[in-house]
Structures are given as structure tokens and as C-alpha cells.
Structure 1
Amino acid sequence: MYSNSHREGDKETTTLVETMSLKERMIETIATYVQQYVDAHWQEVVEQHRSALEAIFARAAEQVYARYSQELFQPLSAELKQAGLTCDPGFPGTIPFSREQWGPQEERERRFWCVLCQENEDILGTLLICYFHDHTQFRIPRSPLMLASEQTNHIVIALMVE
């Protein structure tokens, strides 16, 4: 498991709760924090879990990416909860609330999203996650990309993502 703080280059970043106390509580702030975390950990998660993930790919191909996603995003999900945020659907999103139709088999892109709400039920916006993966072998070709949107209607988001 990872600590709530992490190093990026030579500077240490803070937790999401600390970041949100220093900056305005906006969807862009959260997307930036999540992107920094993912950029710092996406390859580390691959290497730490490589043998198990390759075994899953050999048995069930696509299911390996759900497992990888769980390993990568679980610490962030806990931080979102600790910051008093809820996600609809759960972070980083679900297969029914996603689209995959871009890129060659070696670098497919699946787009997930979740609407973030504060404890007082005020909606902050939507976090969009562009998740890159390989259909021919277990491989994550690059870091997932985080985008922020003020749009919160799932139907409009689905159309926007397509």
C-alpha cells in the first residue's frame, strides 16, 4: 500500500485533504492531484504486481485491467473518501459508464468517468479517466490521463466522451 504523500521529482506533494485546504475545492484541483498521483505510481503498480497480472491476462485477458485499475486507484479512492467526496459511480468509474473505441489493439483507450459530490451534496463536477491498455499482451503503454469537466449529466457525458 502507498502512503498518502508521495514524491514528484524533488518536491513532496501533500494528501488530497491538505491540497484541498490550500487550494479552492474545485474539480480541476482534484483532477490535477489525481494526475500527479497516477503519474508517480502507474509503472510502480505494474512492476509490483506483474506476475499476478500476467497470470490473470493469460486466463482472462481483459479482466487484468480491472485488477490493475483496482490496485492503482484504491489509495486514491480512500483519499477521496477521506476528503469528504463521493463518486457516482464509484471512482474511477465502471464499465457501464465507460466507452472504448479508440486506438489500435496494442494501445486501446477506455474512457471512464465519475461525478464528484461533496458531503453537503454539492456537485463539484466530473472526473474523466482515459485509460490506455494493450489487447495483445499485458501492457500498460502509458499513464492514464485525468480530465476535469463541469458537466455532470451522465447521458451528456457519454455523448461528450464519444
Structure 2
Amino acid sequence: MSQQLPNFRQGMTIQEISEAANRYIESEWKILYESMHHELTVAFEEMEDAAYGLYLDRLLPPVFDRLEAAGFSLEEKLEENDFVIARRLIFRNSLEKWGVEDNRSRIFWNVLRDRDGHPIGSLLTEIPHSHLKFDIPSSPIHYALEESGREQIVLGIRRIKE
């Protein structure tokens, strides 16, 4: 990976944060996808959708690490049965309702808090993927929502996708 790391700072809006994260994702996702494709194709045969977690474990932590280094918090108290990928994406904070089997879309959300603990909004992470073979048909993408409550986030995701 070429590591075109995003720069975050306190005072940024959730929209500015998603735009900076998207510049990083756009510069890195395909390079990483191509370099890991064979490994992840084999993994998909054994573990199906969990192979996408292996990919995201490499792609997304630099975004989350840089946010935390800038004083933002994405942490949420984990529950006993939570499944987490990329260190910050919790499956109970996601929806997968869009697309066909070879081009599905799962959207995760993280409520982002500033240095003082105040929510500034939610960073959404959309992961396009196939359920038939290992394939990421287009770039993962971040969206910004000003909402931070679960019901409002779900409504916001539906506005974006429907």
C-alpha cells in the first residue's frame, strides 16, 4: 500500500472527515485488493464472507488510527457476542439490504466524538461485495451523517441507499 494517509484535526465536520477518508480509500483500495486477491479468493472458499474482514483489517485501520491520533473517538462498548472487523466495525452497527448476490452492499456506522466526548456525527462505511465469490466490485466508500442516534442513523442510511 502506498499509504496516502488522511489528515484529520479537531474542528473538522463529519463531512470533511468522510471526504478525507474517501481520498485515502480511493488511493489504496484497488492496490490492496489486487495484492491480496489470490489469498482472499482461497480464504473465501473456506470462510466465505469472513474473507472480506481480512481485507478490511488491512484497509481501514489507518483511517481509524489517524482519527484517534487527532483526538476523535469511535469506540463503543462491546457486547459479549459482538463481531468486530478492522478494529472498529461492529456488525450489530451495520445493515446489508441492497444489491444482488454478486454485488451486495453492507454499511457499517461509527458515531464519531470529538476530544470532549461530544458526538459530531456518524461515519458510515459502505462495503460492496459478492456472496458468490471473493469480489469487491467497486471502491468501499465513507458517507457522513450528522445524526448520532441509532434510529436516526438507520433512517439516514435508508435515505442514502433508497
Identity %: 26
Distance in 2, matches of 1:106 and 1:44, equals 21
Cα distance, 1:32–1:92 mapped onto 2, change above 3 Å: farther
- Partner residue in 1 for 2:50: 63
Instruction: Name stretches of at least 5 consecutive residues in structure 2 with no aligned partner.
Output: 77-83
* Counterpart check, 1:76 vs 2:63: yes
Identify the match of residue 103 of structure 2 among 94, 104, 107: 107
Structure ranking higher in helix proportion: 1
User: Does the 8 Å CA contact 2:18/2:123 hold for their aligned counterparts?
Assistant: yes
Shift of 1:49: 1.7
Q: CA deviation at 1:93?
A: 2.6
Residue correspondences, number? 149
The answer for the alignment partner of 1:33 in structure 2 is 20
**What does residue range 133-152 of structure 1 map to in structure 2 within 5 Å?**
133-152=129-148
Instruction: Describe the superposition over 1:11-48 as per-residue Cα deviations: whole angstroms up to 9, x where unpaired.
Output: xxx7414xx37xx5111110000111111111111122
Give the equivalent residue in structure 2 for 1:11.
none
- Distance in 2 between the 1:136 and 1:146 partners? 24
Distance (whole Å) between structure 2 residues aligned to residue 2 and residue 95 of structure 1: 28
Task: Provide the rounded CA distance (Å) in 2 between the counterparts of 1:77 and 1:145.
Answer: 14
4+ residue runs of structure 1 moved beyond 2 angstroms? 88-93, 158-162
Q: Which residue in 2 is equivalent to 1:126?
A: 122
Name the amino acid aligned to 1:41.
E
Q: Secondary structure at the match of 1:103?
A: strand
Aligned equivalents of 1:82 and 1:70: distance in 2? 18
Residue 158 of structure 1, aligned match among 133, 154, 159: 154
What residue identity is the alignment partner of 2:73? T
SS at match of 1:130: strand
TM-score (norm 1): 0.83
Worse-superposed segment, 33-42 or 82-91 = 82-91
8 Å contact 1:126–1:152 — kept in the other structure? yes
Residue matched to 2:113: 117
Q: Give the TM-score, by structure 2 length.
A: 0.83
